[in-house]
Structure 1
Amino acid sequence: MRTSRLQLLAAAGVAVASLALTACQDGTGTRDEGGASASQPVASAPSDTSSQAPKESASGSGGNDSTANGSTGNGSTGNGSGGDAAGSGESGGGKGSSAGKGSASGGSDDAPARFNPCNGTNTSVTAQPVSRPVNHMLITVKNTGSKYCDLTYYPVLRFDEMQWVPQPVEDSQPQAVVTLAPGESGYAGVMLSAADGSGAGGTTGKKLAVGFQDRTPNSDGGPAAIPSLPAAGVYYDSSLTVTYWQYSKDDALAY
């Protein structure tokens, strides 16, 4: 009986040990599951990776921003190019306009009306002594042609066989060439002799030739004109001077 009890106690101890072992294994298993869930740092690696992904994506979006900025830059550059193109267009238009103006101006310059010297073939010329100022004569040139003509510089005067050329009054030089339309007249004043008698070599001229100049000083502007003089002739001396061509009689006789 005692042996049986001992056997029963031993068996019970084994059973209790088995139950304890089973419980211990279950607990370990439970701890293993908890550990697995706690060791999710291993599983959390994807979580870290995913946490880096926003950084990459943030960097990527930053890249996108820079791309966007770049595209904005490109866009503004594009706009700038467009502006340049527009500017070029406007500039081109401006050139076109000025070219047109140049052509128009060139056309008028090339027309016979421009730089067409007045001379003995397209004008009528008179030379008339005046009472005031004293010892003066007025030369009048009328355009008898069908085109504009230009009176450049001053008339080149020659009485009879004169061997010298009367000098111009420099103060009488106008700001622009005197251009005559058909039917219009231009004028030059001539001081024949000094009023105070200071001139030398006085003589009476019976014939007068009025010469014309071209674009440059002392150049030949074409045939001279031979206006009629009073029957008694015209007295002159070494004081003989002439004004530049003028638009009005008053300006021509003001010197």
Structure 2
Amino acid sequence: MLKAKPFEVLSHVHHGFFTREGGVSKGIYASLNCGYGSDDDGACVRENRVRVAGKLSVEPEKLLTLYQIHSPEVAVVTEPWAPDSAPQADAMVTDKPGIALGILTADCAPVLFADEKAHVIGAAHAGWKGAIGGVLEATVEAMTALGAERNRIVAAIGPCISKDAYEVGAEFHDRFLGDDGLNGKWFSPSANAGHFMFDLPGYVEAKLKASDIGTVAQIGRCTYQEQKRFFSFRRTTHRKEKDYGRQISALMLRD
């Protein structure tokens, strides 16, 4: 479990960016696969999530994840839900203590948020589509609706695919330039003609800073390159494997 320095001083917030290590899953899912959406053995996924909940000091049924759809949708959490009734969204916020908000990723950026003074937290799944679509801004707005203040919000970007590993085509590049001409700074030419390397964590960090929140930090770990520590959708695709695991990043308000 990795920690973000700005969160370590928050006495009323438990958090962790979990790796793929420390679980019971086997094979391509080894070992801490927390994604019910994978084809892993459901009993193994449940046990892995129990272990994560234990690290966060929360009851397993109160470790929540979403049905993620690469959208700007934000769920306001007032009570736990069963895994098969998770809302379709890519972020969630709460002011309720004892409920852990979890984000599942395998290259996309997990982002955790907290305003400790207001007792409001949030978590977002920011792949390129969600990030350009406004999921980060929507999360901040949902937090302020619960009483958070922008200048007090701390955000941390967890392990995700790095620029050195994220090659994209011309259509991807052009879509970002069409959204904002200044987005070209997040791309550099790749070794393959007509392709580019995209800086997802840099882009996410810039979007967060543009939201005028108090603090933004990066864990700075690459899911693609660190195969022993992280699951990676892109690495799985390049290896032509049939499926992939998901690591979880989560936080919870303490009483």
Q: By the TM > 0.5 criterion, same fold?
A: no
Structure exhibiting the larger radius of gyration computed from Cα positions: 1
TM-score, L = length of structure 1? 0.21
Larger RCO (CA under 8 A, 6+ residues apart) = 2
TM-score (norm 2): 0.21
